[in-house]
């Protein structure tokens, strides 16, 4: 790959990779560092043959794996972004509803953070980042059918945890009973 090809195909992926890294790490500085390190790795491996059909899948996989390595090192996963929950609820919703949405988002993030890989990555990429099933499956090195099953089971687990542990959907809040 020539420098011009790299500039035209790989560099435009930077913003998307930053958003993905930020969603995993919840830190601007760490997300910027990840993108920089991934870009350097992509540059050094630009002439190697790869098994991905698209640059987007290749870059997403490298970014995702690098973020997972960082999370394993620091043993902490914070996906909740209170500012995003506030912004989503600001369209005329009252303060109570906004608080409930922020709390639910935080609880869902906590449940997701406790999931094992590769389920956690699948949920982040598909449900939080909005990747298609095909894009997510390719980046994770699996097929779409297996990914759909994984996502379905993860969503069911999240619903069950929200009901069982936190009392969401039952009219009672079980957190005070713990």
CATH number at residue 98: 1.10.10.10
C-alpha to C-alpha distance for 58 and 175, rounded to whole angstroms: 42
Tokens 């973020």 found at = 67
Does one domain contain both 49 and 106? no
Does one domain contain both 43 and 25? yes
pLDDT at 93: 45
Indicate which CATH number applies to the domain containing 58: 1.10.1740
Does one domain contain both 116 and 37? no
Q: Output the DSSP codes for 15-48.
A: HHHHHHHHHHH--HHHHHHHHHHHHHHHHHTTTS
Does one domain contain both 63 and 98? no
Does one domain contain both 104 and 62? no
Looking at 49, 74, 99, which one is the last position of a domain?
74
Q: Summarize the confidence of residues 159-174 as an average pLDDT.
A: 68
CB 11 within 8 A of CB 3: no
Whole domain around residue 70: which residue ranges? 3-74
Does one domain contain both 60 and 133? no
pLDDT at 100: 65
Domain count, the chain: 2
Is a pLDDT exceeding 90 seen at residue 148?
A: yes
Which of 41-50, 69-78, 111-120, 155-164 has the weakest average pLDDT? Answer: 69-78
pLDDT at 166: 64
C-alpha to C-alpha distance for 13 and 87, rounded to whole angstroms: 26
Q: What is the pLDDT of residues 14-64, one digit of tens each?
A: 888 998 888 888 788 888 999 999 888 888 877 776 666 778 888 888 888
Does one domain contain both 21 and 88? no
CB 111 within 8 A of CB 158: yes
Does one domain contain both 61 and 124? no
Length of the chain equals 178
CB 24 within 8 A of CB 64: yes
Does one domain contain both 165 and 120? yes
Q: What is the mean pLDDT of the chain?
A: 76
**pTM of the predicted model over 0.75:** no
CB 125 within 8 A of CB 64: yes
Does one domain contain both 152 and 95? yes
146 CB neighbour count, 10 Å cutoff: 13
Does one domain contain both 15 and 64? yes
Q: Record the tokens describing residue 104, joined without a space.
A: 């639910």
pLDDT at 81: 47
* Helices vs. strands in the chain: H and E counts, helices first: 9, 0
């Amino acid at each position: 790959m020539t420098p011009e090809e790299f500039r035209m195909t790989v560099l435009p992926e930077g913003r998307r990779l930053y958003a993905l890294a930020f969603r995993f790490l919840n830190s601007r500085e760490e997300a910027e560092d990840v993108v920089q390190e991934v870009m350097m790795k992509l540059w050094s491996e630009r002439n190697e043959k790869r098994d991905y059909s698209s640059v987007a899948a290749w870059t997403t996989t490298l970014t995702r794996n690098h973020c997972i390595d960082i999370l394993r090192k620091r043993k902490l996963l914070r996906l909740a972004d209170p500012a995003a929950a506030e912004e989503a609820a600001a369209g005329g919703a009252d303060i109570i509803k906004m608080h409930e949405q922020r709390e639910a988002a935080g609880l869902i993030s906590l449940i997701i953070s406790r999931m094992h890989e590769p389920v956690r990555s699948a949920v982040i990429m598909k449900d939080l980042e909005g990747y298609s099933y095909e894009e997510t499956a390719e980046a994770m090195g699996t097929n779409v059918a297996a990914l759909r099953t994984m996502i379905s089971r993860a969503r069911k687990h999240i619903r069950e945890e929200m009901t069982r542990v936190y009392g969401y959907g039952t009219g009672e809040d079980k957190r005070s009973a713990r």
